Amino acid sequence: MRPTLSSPWFTRRAVGYGWRPVSWQGWAVTSGVIVFAVTSIAVFKRSPAGIGLVLGGVAFYLLIASLTAGAPSTDSAARGAARAEHSTFTPAPLRPAPAISESEKATDPANAALLVERLTKRFGERIAVSDVSFSVARGEVFGFLGPNGAGKTTTVRTLGTLIAPTSGSAIVAGLPLSAANGGAIRQRISIMPESPGLYLRLSVYDNLEFFAGLFCLRYPAARIAAVLEAVNLTDRADDLCASLSKGLRQRVGLARALLNEPEILFLDEPTSGLDPVATREVHELIDGLRRRGVTVFLTTHRLEEAERLCDRVAILNTTLRAIGRPEELRTRLFKRSLVVRTAAPLAVPEHVFEPIGGVSRWSRDDAGRYIIDVEDPEKVAPALTRALVSAGADVLSIAESRHSLEDVYLEMVDEDVEARPR
């Protein structure tokens, strides 16, 4: 009869055959059998008695493992019940944090999750990042933009303690960036690369269980349940990662990055190669992380993605070219203007536009539209409309010209850094 256990000593392997220990009793039995086998071989070397004792020890081990094993690891319901019984910890949602207002998401050092000062990284004679300074507020989604070879990945690897800076300093999750603090910083952050690097022959759950072990999580089953729920993959926990679409693998990678409840999550091109539906799902996950108070450091080439998701963006091209909210960057780089479309060209347009207060200059583009530079579009638009009607113009539309983040990016970055001679 199978003994009744408060928790299993062994569990069936998800890949291959046999069992593996999951409790101190299981490890004790395994260690005892190994010691017994080694001793038997040493004492009865090349003796039938020694071979018999070793085989007997192996048979004893298999018997104990089969009698004290929990459910197979591919049985999610039994596995979850066994591990829940093993722990009194109740799975909880990802750690919430108080909402941060837009005014607080500025550059206040006291509120900074990341504080970078004059960071420089050289590889021999080549400068990858030069004299970069910025801060990222707690709970902020911060976009890091730039062309290939601009130093984005180098910056992330440096802040993630994977490589040491040549000069400069940084505070990451409240700790000074240094070799001595490397382990402590890595416990507080997570980095999700463009390719998640999952073990395709393992299930979603087993992938997360393996990495939970690397993080030395105290209650892995509870934490895995929480992150699976966060990325909406609870029902796919037992599917092999090889069977998942690229979008689902990205979500598994995001779940893995959330296992240690990071204060800062570095995402490197999280939607690269995804279709629109999968991209939207990843965007929703990032929005959810923002609501939970996780600081997200996002590197991306998709400028519309950065404009949609990020509270602020930084544009890097070896040096930092610009930083701020997308709307601030547009206002800083481009004059505000109104675009007027009329059914027919105006007879004397200067008589219409120049008398209006707040108009600095006007021009007509190749499409026949009038571009009027103004100080405040909301104040000038009513007066402009009245002037056009008084002039007998058939007005088709009047709208403020809005420059995209792509316009800002192209204005700031005009060089292919990766093509430079080395």
**Sequential pLDDT tens for the chain (422 residues):** 344 444 677 676 654 556 777 777 777 878 887 877 777 777 676 667 767 777 777 788 777 777 776 544 444 444 454 444 444 334 444 444 444 444 444 455 667 899 999 999 999 989 999 999 999 999 999 999 888 888 998 999 999 999 999 999 999 999 999 999 999 999 999 999 888 889 999 999 999 999 998 888 888 899 999 999 888 899 999 999 999 988 889 889 989 999 988 999 999 888 877 788 888 888 888 888 888 888 999 998 778 888 889 999 998 888 988 898 887 777 766 677 888 889 888 888 888 888 888 888 888 887 788 888 887 888 888 888 889 888 888 888 888 776 656 666 676 676 544 444 44
Tell me the C-alpha to C-alpha distance, in Å, between residue 413 and each of 146, 196, 232. Answer: 8, 29, 38
Q: Residue 30: inside a domain, yes or no?
A: yes
Mutual orientation of helices 204-214 and 246-257 as an angle, nearest 10°? 30
59 and 204 in a common domain: no
25 DSSP β-pair partners? none
Q: Residue 1: inside a domain, yes or no?
A: no
Q: What pLDDT, on a 0 to 100 scale, did the predictor assign at position 99?
A: 45
- CB count in 10 Å sphere of residue 216: 9
CATH of residue 349's domain is: 3.30.70.100
Q: Which of 267, 301, 299, 272 is nearest to 285 (CA)?
A: 267
128 and 28 in a common domain: no
Q: Residue 413: inside a domain, yes or no?
A: no
CATH of residue 157's domain is: 3.40.50.300
CA 4 to chain centre: 43
Q: What pLDDT, on a 0 to 100 scale, did the predictor assign at position 173?
A: 93
271 and 188 in a common domain: yes
Q: What pLDDT, on a 0 to 100 scale, did the predictor assign at position 4?
A: 43
116 and 43 in a common domain: no
Q: Where are the beta strands (DSSP E) in 158-252?
A: 167-172, 175-176, 189-192
Q: What pLDDT, on a 0 to 100 scale, did the predictor assign at position 118?
A: 95
Q: Residue 169: inside a domain, yes or no?
A: yes
352 and 304 in a common domain: no
Q: Residue 3: inside a domain, yes or no?
A: no
319 and 194 in a common domain: yes
Domain boundary among 325, 348, 369: 325
Alpha carbon distance 233, 241 (integer Å) = 12
In sequence order, what are the residues at sequence separation of 6 or more whose Cβ sits closer than 8 angstroms to the Cβ of residue 167?
Answer: 118, 119, 120
Q: Residue 22: inside a domain, yes or no?
A: yes
264 DSSP β-pair partners? 189, 295
Q: What pLDDT, on a 0 to 100 scale, did the predictor assign at position 414?
A: 62
Q: What pLDDT, on a 0 to 100 scale, did the predictor assign at position 90?
A: 41
Q: Residue 207: inside a domain, yes or no?
A: yes
153 and 280 in a common domain: yes
112 DSSP β-pair partners? 137
Element (H, E) at 299: strand 295-299
204 and 56 in a common domain: no
377 and 275 in a common domain: no
Structural domain containing residue 233: 109-325
258 and 130 in a common domain: yes
Structural domain count of the chain: 3
Domain boundary among 265, 294, 325: 325
Domain boundary among 33, 54, 86: 86
Q: Residue 102: inside a domain, yes or no?
A: no
Alpha carbon distance 421, 405 (integer Å) = 29
248 and 288 in a common domain: yes
The 8-class DSSP code of residue 180 comes to T
301 and 169 in a common domain: yes
Phi, psi of 191 (to 5 degrees): -125, 125
